[in-house]
Amino acid sequence: MQKKAGPLFYIGLFVFIFLVMFPFLWILISSFKPVSELFGEKAFIPYTSDPTFKNYESVFVNHPFLVYLKNSLIVSGVTTIYTVFIASFAAYAIARMQFKGKTIILGLVLSVSMFPQVATISPIYIILKNLGLTNSYIGLIIPYTTITLPLSIWILVTFFRKIPFDLEEAAKIDGASIMQTYWRVILPLAVPGIFTTAILVFIAAWNEFLFALVLNTEEAYKTVPVGIAMFQGQFTIPWGEISAATVVVTVPLVIMVLLFQRRIVSGLTSGAVKE
C-alpha cells in the first residue's frame, strides 16, 4: 500500500517549482513593463501596474528580428535533419553489428563532446574562413553538427540496443539485406528515440551562441541568440526589448517540450531498466 504524500511534500514541491519557474516569470513580466518600471526598485518586483506591448513592437520594428528567427530556423532545422540522419546510421552499426573497436569508437565520440567550444573555435574559424564559408548557413551547420553528433550517437546506440535481435534475425532469414532490415524493421521501432534526439539537437542548435557570434558577423546571417545580445546600445541596455525577444524565442521551445514530453522521457529512459 502506497503512503500518501503529506502537506510538507506539496509545500516543498510548490517552492521547488516556484524557484525553477521564477526566472522565466520575471522575464515574462519584465517584457510587459514600461521603461519607468524596468529600473530602480520596481525592477525587482514581478508585477506591473501599467502593462504595455511596446517592447514586443520594438523588437520587430526596430530590429531585424524576423531575419534572426529565419536564420535560426534554417540552421537548427538543417542541423537536426543532417545530424539525426548520420547518427542513426552510426548508432545502428555500433549497436547491432559485430566488429572490433566499437568501444574505442564510442570512447572517441565521447571525447569529442568533451572539448570546450573555446578550444576549438580558432581552428574551426580559420578552416571555414579559408573555405569561404563564414557568414553562411553551412558555415554554422558544420560546427553545429560536430557538437550535436556525439550526443545523438550515444542516445541512439542505447535505443537501438533495446530492440530485440530476434526481429533482425527473422528479417535476414526472409532474405532482407542490412539496409532493408534497417529501413523496414529497425528504423520504425526506433522512432521514439530518433524523435527525442531530434528535439535535443534542435534545442542545442537553437540556443548555441559562441560559434554563431564568431563565424557569422554579417547582419543577414545572425541567429537569434546573437541578435538578442546585440540589442544593447553604447550607453543603455534595453531590458524590455531583451525580455520580449527572450519570451518570443523561448515560448515555442517550451510548448514543443510540453507537447512531446512523453516521447522525450521515453527516449531518454530507454534502456535504463532491464526487462
Residue that wins the pLDDT comparison between 164 and 198? 198
Q: 3-class DSSP state for residue 24?
A: helix
Grid coordinates representing 14 are 510548490
Predicted pLDDT at 270: 54
| Stretch 163-181: mean pLDDT | 80
Answer for the pair 82, 141: CB distance below 8 angstroms, yes or no.
Answer: yes
Of 264 and 136, more confident: 136
pLDDT at position 80 is 94
Instruction: Return the pLDDT at 19.
Output: 86
C-alpha cell at 25: 516569470
Please, what are the domains in the chain? 65-217 (1.10.3720.10)
Is the pLDDT reported for residue 2 higher than 60? no
What is the arithmetic mean of pLDDT over 156-180?
81
Over the stretch 4-57, which tens digit does the pLDDT of each residue have?
Answer: 767 787 888 888 888 888 888 888 888 888 877 777 666 667 667 778 888 899
DSSP string over 89-122: HHHHHHHH---TTHHHHHHHHHHHHHS-HHHHHH
Band of residue 273 on the pLDDT scale cut at 50, 70, 90:
very low
Pick from 251, 275, 253: which is nearest to 264 by CA?
253
The answer to whether 152 and 113 are in contact (CB under 8 A) is: no
Give me the pLDDT at residue 235, please.
66
Average pLDDT over residues 113-142: 89
Q: Rounded mean pLDDT of 243-266?
A: 78
Percent residues over pLDDT 70 in the chain = 88
Round to whole Å and give the CA distance between 170 and 161: 17
Q: What is the pLDDT of residues 66-75, one digit of tens each?
A: 999 999 999 9
pLDDT (0 to 100) of residue 272: 46
d(CA 201, CA 269): 17
Q: Is the pLDDT of residue 79 over 90?
A: yes
Classify 133 as helix, strand or coil. coil
In the block, which residue shows the cell 514543443? 256
> What's the full length of the chain, in residues?
275
Q: Does pLDDT of 274 surpass 50?
A: no
Q: Are 44 and 230 in contact (CB under 8 A)?
A: no
